[in-house]
A and B are shown apart, each in its own frame.
Chain A
């Protein structure tokens, strides 16, 4: 499609605004304006597009846009911040779905015109494949995180073989579409592309069901990059520069983000995608609870904090969010600071269900982001801390991850070095080892560690009371 000069320049402006917006998202102070600038860029691109197309379609477009916007605003406004990851997955999925549908529709248009060249002929099936996988993959990720279906790792015999056969089938169908039915004469080219779409939807489900809930952030991030690439690919089909630029930037940045995340988890991306979670460390379960632990009461914890502690570092985990204890956490911070205690937070890159998710949850209740330190910044601080309080977390503080003698699912993952603090306080429901199923030697260090067995919210409430009275 021919783009006029004015719309072309508007697209360039939009691209610049996207880049400036993303740049501003790199610091907390400017992040919000960055998002606004990117949204403005989007508006510019959409208005410019109105001048590229036939005006008679405006009614149809307007109806679909209004419908999409209303659903978008309602869902985005209502979603709980703890449910953020699945909401991002959902928005990502529909983007991928849109790319697949656009490619299908363009295939029809181009083959009617008889102008399906090599570029469009190869790019369209690719867009349909990637977009559909992203769509159904996101649907599965959503339902796993929302705990609707497919929770845990769903596997069946010969899964990899089934996936491979399905993928080959998609390639044959794509080739059949490109070669105008020479391979499978009973399937018209358009029907072949539709078949590619449905087969890719199934592939999207099969690829994501074996991956456990703990790895979902990485999957969502990867699918985000996929959708970006699908958008870029559809830009080649439509010969539209803003689609190529914006789609590619998202594809590239999504890939980087995915690598950052899998690096922080110490899990190679290939292992996550192709194996699901390999069951390991299961036999260790029997040892749990056999050794003595220093089981304490909330008042003992409160007494220690108010009498002995001048500097406290809190490590929040997903257990905190599950118990909806964020605002009680805020009360604890205020109570401690009132008594002159310095409070910092150590946020592991994968705390919560997405990198940075825990920061969002903490700032939501009004805890200043300046107190929230990254792994590298907080680790030196434990040396002179009087207490490290771990709430609803285990894997991210487990020294076993860096023990060369042990081979665990979390081996190699950088952890928060809470053991360097004077005392270690766990607020936890039980000794259960958490997602990765690795026992934590800190639990059994009875001289250093205090175990407060409680639900995160209830336990924190009692500790806050004790600190106030102490």
Chain B
């Protein structure tokens, strides 16, 4: 029970942190931000790895396999596409430097 209460406390604190982190972001960055947080919930892949590693019949393993596949797709696709978006936001100075270099 103690463990559950601690988890619940962390849940509440993380919730407040999430609100605070996002509340002051320019519109300019809303799409990349949504895309990046979308990649971060790919953390569900951790759960997939844990569940596939536990014993079970073939159908449970198959369910776990699909979960890990989905999770990896969420993580890799999410971060990759966010990076592509943000590569367009390079400051003008950096661009000039790259051209010279």
Contacts and interface: CB of A to CB of B under 8 A. Distances in A.
Contacts of B7: 235-236, 239, 241, 244
Q: Which of B63, B66, B76 has the most CB of A within 10 A?
A: B76
Contact of A247 (B43, B50, B56, B78): B43
Interface of A: 1, 18-19, 21-23, 25-29, 31-32, 34-36, 38-39, 42, 45-46, 49-50, 52-54, 57, 60-61, 63-69, 71-73, 75-77, 79, 81, 84-85, 87-88, 90-92, 94-95, 97-99, 101-102, 104-106, 108-109, 112, 119, 220-221, 224, 227-228, 230-232, 234-236, 238-257, 260-261, 264, 347, 349, 352, 354-357, 359-360, 363-364, 368-370, 372, 374-375
A245 B73 contact: no
B24 interface: yes
Nearest to B66: A101
A62 to B, nearest CB: 9
B26 interface: yes
A246 B56 contact: no
B72 A69 contact: yes
B38 A92 contact: yes
Chain B interface: which size bin? 35 or more
Contacts of A98: 44-45, 47-48, 66-68, 70-71, 74
A231 B81 contact: no
Contact of B88 (A244, A245, A355, A364): A364
Given A31-B29, A243-B47, A375-B27, 5 more contacts: A26-B25, A72-B72, A72-B74, A236-B4, A359-B29
Q: Which of B28, B54, B61, B92 has the most CB of A within 10 A?
A: B28
B21 A249 contact: yes
Contacts of A53: 49-50, 53
Contacts of A243: 43-44, 46-47
28 contacts: A28-B29, A31-B86, A35-B82, A54-B53, A61-B52, A61-B68, A64-B52, A68-B76, A72-B73, A77-B84, A88-B81, A95-B70, A98-B45, A105-B56, A238-B51, A239-B7, A242-B43, A245-B14, A247-B41, A248-B14, A251-B15, A252-B16, A253-B21, A256-B18, A356-B33, A363-B89, A374-B26, A375-B27
B91 A28 contact: yes
A46 B38 contact: no
A21 to B, nearest CB: 7
Contacts of A64: 48, 52, 65-66, 68-69, 72
Contacts of B11: 232, 236, 244, 248
A45 B75 CA distance: 12
A240 B63 contact: no
Contacts of A34: 36
B33 to A, nearest CB: 5
Contact of B68 (A68, A246, A252, A354): A68
Contacts of B24: 26
